[in-house]
Amino acid sequence: MATAEAAVSGPPRASISERIVGFITRTPVHLALLLIGVVWLVPTVGLAVTSFRPRSDIQASSWWSSLLDFHFTVNNYQQVLDRAGMSDAFFNSLIITIPSTLLPLTLAALAAYAFSWISFPFRDTIFLIIVALMIVPIQMALVPLLRLFRDWGIADWYGGIWLAHTAFGLPLGIFLLRNFFITLPRDLIEAARVDGASNLRIFLKVVLPLSVPALASYGIFQFLWVWNDLLMALIFVQNSDLWPMTIKVNQMQSQFGGEWHLLSSGAFLLMIVPLAVFFALQRYFVQGLLAGSVK
Amino acid sequence: MSSTAVPGPVGRPRGRRLPSIFRRSGWQGLAFILPAVAFLAVLVVYPLIYTIVLSFGDTNAKLNIVRWVGFDNYKTLLTEDKEFLDLDVFPPTGALINNLKWVVLYTSVSLALGLLIAVLAVRVRYESFIKAIVFIPMAISATAVAIIWRFVYEPDPDLGALNAFITTFGADPISWIGRADTVNYALIFAYVWASTGFAMVVLSAALKGISEEVIEAARTDGASEWDIFRRIQLPLLSLPIAVVTVWLLINVIKLFDIIYVLTGGGPGNASEVIAFTMYDQTFQNGEAGYGAAVAVVMLLLIIPIMVFNIRRFRSERVTA
Amino acid sequence: MRRKMLLPIAALAALALALGACGGDGGGGTEEGDGQVTIFSLWGGSEQEAFKKVLTQFTEETGIKTKYESARDFLPVIRTRLAADNPPEVAILPRPGFVDELARDDALISLEDLGLDPDKINENYNDTWIDLATFEDTTYGVVAKANSKSTVWYKPKSFRENGFEIPKTWAELEQIVKDYKAKGKTPWAVGAQGRDNSWTLTDWFEQIYVRTAGGENYDKLFSGELAFDDPTVKDALNEMLKMVNDQYVSGGIDTALGISFIDGIGRVFSKKPDAEMYMLGGFVGGIALGQVNKDLKVGEDIDFFPFPEIKPENGNPLVGSGDVAAAMVNNEDVAKLIEFLSTPQAGKTWVSTGAIVSPNKGVTDADYPNELVSKEAEQVKNAESFRFDGSDLLPGTLGQEFGTLLQKIVKTPDKMDSLLAAYQAGAEKAFANQ
Cβ neighbours of C45 in A, within 8 Å: 255-256
Note whether B245 contacts C: Cβ–Cβ < 8 A. Answer: no
Helix (H) or strand (E) holding C322: strand C318-327
Whether residue C242 sits in one domain with residue C183 = yes
pLDDT recorded at residue B64: 77
Nearest chain A residue (CA) to B297: A140
In a domain, residue C4? The reply is no
Residues A268, B218 contacting (CB under 8 angstroms) = no
State whether A274 and B141 contact (CB < 8 Å): yes
> Dihedral through CA A111, CA A112, CA A116, CA A118, nearest 10?
-10
State whether C258 and B178 contact (CB < 8 Å): yes
- Residue-wise pLDDT for C179-230, tens only, equals 999 999 999 999 988 777 888 999 999 999 999 998 889 988 988 888 998 9
Q: What domains does chain A contain, in order, with CATH numbers?
A: 15-73 (no CATH), 85-291 (1.10.3720.10)
**ipTM of the predicted assembly exceeds 0.85:** no
State how far residue A146 is from chain C, nearest Cα, in angstroms: 5
State whether C404 and B45 contact (CB < 8 Å): no
Collapse the DSSP code of C379 into the 3-class scheme (helix H, G, I; strand E, B; otherwise coil) and give the result: helix
Q: Indicate the residue type of B61.
A: A
Nearest chain C residue (CA) to A127: C3
Note whether B129 contacts C: Cβ–Cβ < 8 A. Answer: no
Which residues 399-418 of C have a C-beta within 8 angstroms of B? Answer: 400, 404, 407-408, 411
Which phi and psi angles does A294 have, rounded to 5°? -135, 0
Q: ω before A104 within 30° of 0 (cis)?
A: no
- Residue-wise pLDDT for C105-134, tens only, equals 888 988 888 888 888 888 888 777 787 788
Q: Residue C228 is part of a domain; what is its CATH number?
A: 3.40.190.10
Note whether B68 contacts C: Cβ–Cβ < 8 A. Answer: no
Q: What span, in angstroms and rounded, lies between the C-alpha atoms of B60 and C104? A: 9
In a domain, residue C29? The reply is no
State how far residue A56 is from chain B, nearest Cα, in angstroms: 13
Helix (H) or strand (E) holding B66: strand B65-68
Whole-number percent of chain A with pLDDT over 70 = 87
Whether residue C167 sits in one domain with residue C251 = yes
Residues B190, A40 contacting (CB under 8 angstroms) = no
State how far residue A190 is from chain B, nearest Cα, in angstroms: 13
Whether residue C269 sits in one domain with residue C411 = yes
Is the pLDDT reported for residue C397 higher than 80? no
Residues C292, C280 contacting (CB under 8 angstroms) = no
Note whether A28 contacts B: Cβ–Cβ < 8 A. Answer: no
DSSP sequence for B135-182: HGGGTS-HHHHHHHHHHHT-SSTTT-HHHHHHHTTTPPP--TTTSTTT
pLDDT recorded at residue A257: 64
Domain that holds residue C86: 36-147+321-387
In total, the C-beta contacts within 8 angstroms joining chain A to chain C are 78
Whether residue C164 sits in one domain with residue C117 = no
Cβ neighbours of A256 in C, within 8 Å: 44-45, 262
Helices (H), chain B: 25-40, 46-54, 72-75, 95-121, 127-135, 142-152, 161-167, 183-208, 212-220, 225-227, 234-236, 238-254, 257-262, 274-279, 288-319
Which DSSP symbol is given to C298? B
Note whether B69 contacts C: Cβ–Cβ < 8 A. Answer: no
Pick the residue of C22, C48, C85, C199 with the most A CBs within 10 A to test the interface with A by mutation.
Answer: C85
The confidence band for C319, taking pLDDT boundaries of 50, 70 and 90, is: confident
Which of A80-84, B60-64, B175-179, C24-28 is predicted with the least confidence, judged by mean pLDDT? C24-28
Count CA atoms closer than 13 A to A86's CA, side-chain side: 24
Q: What is the pTM of this model?
A: 0.80
State how far residue C126 is from chain B, nearest Cα, in angstroms: 30
Note whether A39 contacts B: Cβ–Cβ < 8 A. Answer: yes
Helix axes C231-243, C199-212, angle to 10 degrees: 120
pLDDT recorded at residue C377: 82
Note whether C430 contacts B: Cβ–Cβ < 8 A. Answer: no
Q: How far is CA A70 from the centre of its chain?
A: 33
State how far residue A214 is from chain C, nearest Cα, in angstroms: 28
State whether A294 and B142 contact (CB < 8 Å): no
Cβ neighbours of C16 in B, within 8 Å: none
Whether residue C346 sits in one domain with residue C383 = yes
Q: Indicate the residue type of A40.
A: W
CA angle C205, C207, C211 (to 5 degrees): 110
Whether residue C181 sits in one domain with residue C206 = yes
Whether residue C356 sits in one domain with residue C300 = no
Whether residue C179 sits in one domain with residue C52 = no
Q: What span, in angstroms and rounded, lies between the C-alpha atoms of B281 and B288? A: 7
In a domain, residue C110? The reply is yes
CATH of B95-271, one of 3.30.1370.60, 3.40.50.2020, 1.10.3720.10, 3.30.365.10: 1.10.3720.10
The total domain count for chain C is 2
Cβ neighbours of C262 in A, within 8 Å: 256-258
Residues B200, C282 contacting (CB under 8 angstroms) = no
State whether C76 and B284 contact (CB < 8 Å): yes
State whether A150 and C86 contact (CB < 8 Å): yes
The confidence band for C368, taking pLDDT boundaries of 50, 70 and 90, is: confident
pLDDT recorded at residue C6: 46
Where are the domains positioned within chain B? 95-271
Helix axes C398-411, C231-243, angle to 10 degrees: 60
Partner residue opposite B306 with nearest CB, options A132, A139, A196: A132
Is the pLDDT reported for residue B11 higher than 60? no
Cβ neighbours of B282 in C, within 8 Å: 79
State how far residue B225 is from chain A, nearest Cα, in angstroms: 12
- Residue-wise pLDDT for B171-211, tens only, equals 888 888 888 888 999 999 999 999 999 999 888 888 888 87
Whole-number percent of chain C with pLDDT over 70 = 93
Chains with 3 or more CB pairs under 8 A to chain B: A, C
Whether residue C220 sits in one domain with residue C127 = no
Is the pLDDT reported for residue C7 higher than 50? no
What mean pLDDT do residues C36-48 have? Answer: 84
State whether C259 and B155 contact (CB < 8 Å): yes
Whether residue C199 sits in one domain with residue C272 = yes
